[in-house]
Amino acid sequence: MKANETKVDKFMATNETTFAIPVYQRNYDWTLTQCKQLLHDIIETGKNDRTTAHFIGSIVYVHDDVYTASGLTELTIIDGQQRLTTITLIYIALYRLAHELDNKQLVSRIHKTYLINEFATEEEKLKLKPTENNKEALRYILNSAEGEEFNSYSKIIENYNFFKTTITTDNYENVLKGLSKLIFVDIALDRQRDNPQRIFESLNSTGLELSQADLIRNYILMGLSRTNQEKVYKNYWEVIERLAKDETLNKTRVSEFIRDYLTLKNKEIPNKGDVYIKFKEQYPTTTIDNLEEVLKELKSLVKFYNKLTNPKNEIDREIRTQLEYISRLEINVAFPFLMKVYEDYSEIKIDKSTFVSVLTLVQSFTFRRFVLGLPTNALNKIFMSLYDKVEYNNYIYSIQKALLLRSGVQRFPRNTEIINALKEKDVYNIKPKNRTYLLERLENYKNNEPVVIDGNHDITIEHIFPQNPDPKWKLDLGAEEYNFIKENYLNTIGNLTLSGNNGKLGNKSFLEKQTMNADNKEQGYIFSRLWLNRELKTLKKWDKSTIEARAENIAQRFLKIWELPDIDIEENKESDEINIFDADDPKFKKLEYAIFFDQKLEVTQVAKLYIEVFKQLFDLQPETFFTSELGERISLTKTPESIGIRQAVPINDTYFIEANIDNIGKFDRIKQALTVFGFEDELSIKYAD
């Protein structure tokens, strides 16, 4: 590796040289903010006669003895694409301005020095050789006639337009002077002696903001020959990048897709920042044969990931509807499992009915858990291994059984739990997406003329007992019942409905809302065709008892929509293990053992479990003990004698915690710690007989 301090204009003026951006590089994505800052620095540097240089970072490249058909030396840019491309855009803006000023000398100097290789073939003329999707945009801004339109969106075009309008006759000379003062560290690699991938990783760790997908793409492609790079990129990676995308937001989801893929393969969810590292560990070699095996599988699964992320791309209406529901509930955690089920449907291993049943089962399981307020992080562990439970000769039953056998915080909520929770749960102040999903599905159950609520501004949520009631409500109900409803039932499902006349009904009394017909426009409940308003038509009052009766009625409908599988299974009596959050009071009890992070702990006393849990948690993530109340709660200290700990027990070579606490206190502290860490489903115990 050779590193030198070099002027940017001298580097770009190198004769018969092409600066090639390889296919494994991320797209050109500098924003206007970054462009404005660079141009500001260039102008200020140009204006200041005392400033002799302005440093802009490094450009790293390798020359693989590659020469173009025209005999040009091709330098592969490993780091510096964004700066090199942006400076090229500035030179093109200056070139265009020089044309307008009829400054032929400046036109010729910029064009032949920084933008083209004069004697190359037309195809190879551009000095900067960007990736395919940027090449046409660069040719367009350099060669197009005034008024000619570019047909698609491009950051190249956007940023060039900024430079074109900002660089003017008043400042272009300062821009030219500033460009001549830009310097960078010129790092030339020798592939025989240097490892470009390791150098690239090192650069990334010191501030180059690349996604996990960018790093993986570079890892896959950088070590291949140019021919194989093009082949693998075109046949596989380009397809993955195109399909692993949220098309509504135009946002790439390649990193998330590969994270889900690794979760499926390893039954372990990588941290978002460790996806690249885990991918390298899983696939330590980058030979073309090994790569194609994994890329074939990724390419196959990404088709289903695309439809899970963008349900509109599924042509079957019934399946698309279920995918839209899953999308609205944001059950992304189920994607590793659902990709494989989708693949089975695509390969006709299961029929459409079975596939739809799986999609509705996932909704029932997750939405019932949501109603009960069970921890969502338990879903990670459930779905990453659920496909392993599939039995092809009994597909849906095997999945139902696997979910029904879950216990504790991982359980499939039973009907009685759901009925009780719905009577009291505040469903008005949940996420709007979830609230709309709940009401829309309740309304449209077995409805041949479904009502669309999502995005429908004509139909809104109505509080039957209003949020700000008219004084008549208190007179009708009496103070005690009025206050009880307001405090306990206001935002529950029993008191909520849908209306196209919410503003008109407002805070009026129930009977006024029921029969309202101002200007013969039929605003009242008695005129509504909605199921949710059906029983409101005949009631004579609205009070605690009618709210509870309506909640019961809606709960019964809920159970039909989000069904609990009606299958015979043997409850899981295996060892009577129970999650610590569901365990009985530990007072005067002994343990047989515990399971923590899937590892069996041979502990028979709660005191030993207490120490072991905190040892492992502190070893895993010590900073959490100091950024939450946890450290204070367990009296974490280096000097137990100074704060008067009665029974100091070490959790490592430096720190101690208080252990003179009864078993109930120990359980409380363990549960607090698991909640803070988000590990509520990771500790199960078995009491000794």
For residue 172, what pLDDT band results from cuts at 50, 70 and 90? very high
For residue 284, what pLDDT band results from cuts at 50, 70 and 90? confident
**Cα 259 to Cα 268, 386, 588, distances in angstroms:** 10, 17, 45
For residue 366, what pLDDT band results from cuts at 50, 70 and 90? very high
Q: Are strands 648-650 and 460-463 parallel, antiparallel or unpaired?
A: unpaired
Higher-confidence residue of 197 and 361: namely 361
Question: Is residue 443 domain-shared with residue 586, that is, in the same domain?
Answer: no
For residue 152, what pLDDT band results from cuts at 50, 70 and 90? confident
Q: What is the mean pLDDT of residues 229-238?
A: 88
**Cα 614 to Cα 320, 630, 669, 677, distances in angstroms:** 46, 10, 10, 12
Q: What pLDDT, on the 0 to 100 scale, is given for residue 205?
A: 45
Q: What is the mean pLDDT of residues 609-633?
A: 90
**pLDDT of residue 569 exceeding 80:** no
Question: Is residue 510 domain-shared with residue 595, that is, in the same domain?
Answer: no
**pLDDT of residue 97 exceeding 90:** yes
**pLDDT of residue 67 exceeding 80:** no
Question: Is residue 230 domain-shared with residue 167, that is, in the same domain?
Answer: no
Q: What pLDDT, on the 0 to 100 scale, is given for residue 409?
A: 80
Q: What is the mean pLDDT of residues 209-230?
A: 80
Give me the residue label for tokens 């899981």.
572
pTM: 0.68
Question: Is residue 404 domain-shared with residue 463, that is, in the same domain?
Answer: no
Q: What is the mean pLDDT of residues 121-129?
A: 85
Q: What is the mean pLDDT of residues 96-109?
A: 92
Measured torsion, CA atoms of residues 673, 674, 678, 684, in degrees rounded to the nearest 10: 170
Give me the residue label for tokens 């909605």.
530
User: Which among 684, 682, 685, 686 has a CA at the least distance from the CA of 382?
Assistant: 682
Q: What pLDDT, on the 0 to 100 scale, is given for residue 574?
A: 46
For residue 262, what pLDDT band results from cuts at 50, 70 and 90? very high
Q: What pLDDT, on the 0 to 100 scale, is given for residue 188?
A: 81
Question: Is residue 222 domain-shared with residue 175, that is, in the same domain?
Answer: no
CB atoms within 10 A of CB 150: 14
Is 32 within a domain?
Answer: yes
Least confident of 169-173, 437-441, 679-683: 679-683
Distance CA 212, CA 96 (A): 38
Distance CA 515, CA 522 (A): 8
Is 566 within a domain?
Answer: no
Is 530 within a domain?
Answer: yes
CB atoms within 10 A of CB 196: 21
Higher-confidence residue of 417 and 124: namely 417
For residue 271, what pLDDT band results from cuts at 50, 70 and 90? confident
Out of 170, 185, 208, pick the residue that ends a domain. Answer: 208
Q: What pLDDT, on the 0 to 100 scale, is given for residue 502?
A: 60
**pLDDT of residue 650 exceeding 50:** yes
Read off the DSSP letter of residue 206: T
User: Residues 287, 293, 297, CA angle at the centre, nearest 5°?
Assistant: 140
CA 453 to chain centroid, in Å, comes to 26
User: Which among 550, 586, 290, 561 has a CA at the least distance from the CA of 443?
Assistant: 561
Q: How many domains does the chain have?
A: 4
Q: What is the mean pLDDT of residues 659-667?
A: 90
10 Å CB burial of residue 35 (0-12, 13-18, 19+) is: buried
For the stretch 434-447, pLDDT in tens is 999 999 999 999 88
**pLDDT of residue 306 exceeding 70:** yes
Out of 418, 441, 463, pick the residue that ends a domain. Answer: 418
Is 154 within a domain?
Answer: yes
**pLDDT of residue 397 exceeding 90:** yes
Question: Is residue 98 domain-shared with residue 114, that is, in the same domain?
Answer: yes
Distance CA 439, CA 495 (A): 12
Distance CA 436, CA 577 (A): 38
User: Which among 431, 430, 308 has a CA at the least distance from the CA of 362?
Assistant: 308
Question: Is residue 246 domain-shared with residue 351, that is, in the same domain?
Answer: yes
Decide if 595 contacts 577 (C-beta within 8 A): yes
Question: Is residue 550 domain-shared with residue 661, that is, in the same domain?
Answer: no
Out of 397, 418, 439, pick the residue that ends a domain. Answer: 418
Question: Is residue 38 domain-shared with residue 56, that is, in the same domain?
Answer: yes
Q: What is the mean pLDDT of residues 316-322?
A: 96
For the stretch 333-344, pLDDT in tens is 999 999 999 999
Three-class SS of 51-99: CCCEEEEEEEEECCCCECCCCCEEEEEEECHHHHHHHHHHHHHHHHHHH
Q: What pLDDT, on the 0 to 100 scale, is given for residue 207?
A: 41
Is 569 within a domain?
Answer: no
Least confident of 505-514, 540-549, 603-612: 505-514
Is 567 within a domain?
Answer: no
Distance CA 277, CA 216 (A): 9
Question: Is residue 40 domain-shared with residue 179, that is, in the same domain?
Answer: yes
Question: Is residue 139 domain-shared with residue 21, that is, in the same domain?
Answer: yes
Instruction: Supply the range of the domain harboring residue 342.
Output: 217-418
For residue 386, what pLDDT band results from cuts at 50, 70 and 90? very high
Q: What pLDDT, on the 0 to 100 scale, is given for residue 189?
A: 78
Q: What pLDDT, on the 0 to 100 scale, is given for residue 208?
A: 44
Is 598 within a domain?
Answer: yes
Higher-confidence residue of 192 and 357: namely 357
CA 79 to chain centroid, in Å, comes to 27
- Which H or E run includes 257? helix 254-266
Question: Is residue 177 domain-shared with residue 200, that is, in the same domain?
Answer: yes
**pLDDT of residue 468 exceeding 60:** yes
What is the percent of the chain with per-residue pLDDT over 90, rounded to a whole number?
Answer: 48
Is 657 within a domain?
Answer: yes
**pLDDT of residue 209 exceeding 70:** no
**pLDDT of residue 623 exceeding 60:** yes
